[in-house]
Amino acid sequence: MQFRQRDNKRLIRLGDRTMIARGLRRHFWADLSHLCMTATWPAFIAGAAAVFVIFNGIFALLYWFGDNPIANTSPNSFLSYLYFSIETLSTAGYGEMHPQSNYGHVVATIELFTGIFSMSLMTGLIFARFSRPNARLIFARHPLITNHEGKRTLMIRFANARHNAITNATARLWVLRDVVTAEGLDFRRFSKLPLVSAESPVFALSWTIFHAIDADSPLYSLSPADMEQIDVSLLLQVTGHDENTSQTVRARKAYSFADIRYEHHYVNIFDTDESGLAVMDYTRLHDITPE
């Protein structure tokens, strides 16, 4: 889920759907940790650099207000105080410049505490962002509805981009659709779609899941026009245990009704080279062919 402000409104992106949220006041400081964890790496680094510059500028200004509080600096040199602030806040402390008055010691003590606290916080955020488990899966652009094993079937193909062993992998598929209750109220309803095989003992290369569209399926007898009318969406979630990191990894993919292709099959992505070795061609993962 992603969101951003536009004209005092919140633009929210949930999978393939975009919505505008109103009437909710967002408190920056109350949700700062979540913002730091969900920001892109360029935004995160730029924000950290901005905070570092602002903090050093504030403390340099405090030193500048004092009466020559730092030794071995040019009198009233804001740039010298800025350099000393950077050394203190980062706990580098080269030693040439040092506090020489009570005022200088007090400001330096406050800055040193601020530096220790901020560096610890930044280290924790960076570690949390790097250590957050995720699965690098590539999902085919189009789900397919066609005949398979003599049955009308919905199928979705995806592949493991890391080639690592994801054990006890589980796939779950939902359909989202607009429904009208007996009271005439509009609802967005989730329905789980049973899969022919929802588990894989070891998922390392590719996997295609199948949902049989029988009389018990929520998709039964729905035409493409029907799916558009009730705004059908598909949500696929894959969970498993990454043997390299010994952590549970997850990935998800959302599709709209416009992504679904009918009467097509996926192109075979496996081949054999001249030496007899098996070849998996990721460039053909999204390719489909009509029946």
Give the pTM. 0.73
What are the residue ranges spanned by the domains of the chain?
39-131, 137-290
Quote the radius of gyration of the chain (alpha carbons, Å): 28
Q: Which CATH class is domain 39-131?
A: mainly alpha
State residue 189's pLDDT score. 86
Q: What is the pLDDT of residue 6?
A: 47
Separation between Cα atoms, residue 78 and residue 87, nearest integer Å: 14
Paired tokens of 152: 């009308």
165: its two tokens? 């062993």
The pLDDT of 62-67, averaged and rounded, is: 91
Q: Just give the CATH number of 137-290.
A: 2.60.40.1400
Cα–Cα distance for residue pair 176/192, rounded to 1 Å: 9
* Contact status, residue 10 vs residue 21, Cβ threshold 8 Å: yes
Position 165 scores a pLDDT of: 86
Place of tokens 């022919």: 196
**pLDDT tens digit string along 271-288?**
888 888 888 889 999 999
Q: How far apart are CA 217 and CA 152, in angstroms?
A: 11
| Percentage of the chain modeled with pLDDT above 90 | 45
pLDDT at 3 over 50: no
With contact defined as beta carbons under 8 Å apart, do 209 and 197 qualify? yes
pLDDT digits (tens, 9 = 90+) for 127-174: 888 877 777 899 999 999 999 988 999 999 999 988 888 999 999 999
Q: For residues 210 and 196, is the Cβ–Cβ distance under 8 A?
A: yes
What is residue 170's predicted lDDT score, i.e. its pLDDT?
95
Task: Give bridge partners of residue 138 from the DSSP assignment.
Answer: 159
Torsion of CA 129, 130, 136, 141, to 10 degrees: 40
pLDDT averaged over the chain? 87
Give residue-wise pLDDT tens across range 191-232: 999 999 899 999 888 999 999 999 999 999 888 898 889 889
Find all residues with CB under 8 Å of 111, minimum gap 6, and list them: 59, 85, 88, 89
Q: What is the mean pLDDT of residues 122-127?
A: 88
Q: How far is CA 165 from CA 106, 157, 173, 203, 281, in A?
A: 56, 18, 22, 6, 19
Most confident option among 32-46, 181-195, 253-267: 253-267
> What percentage of the chain exceeds 70 in pLDDT?
91
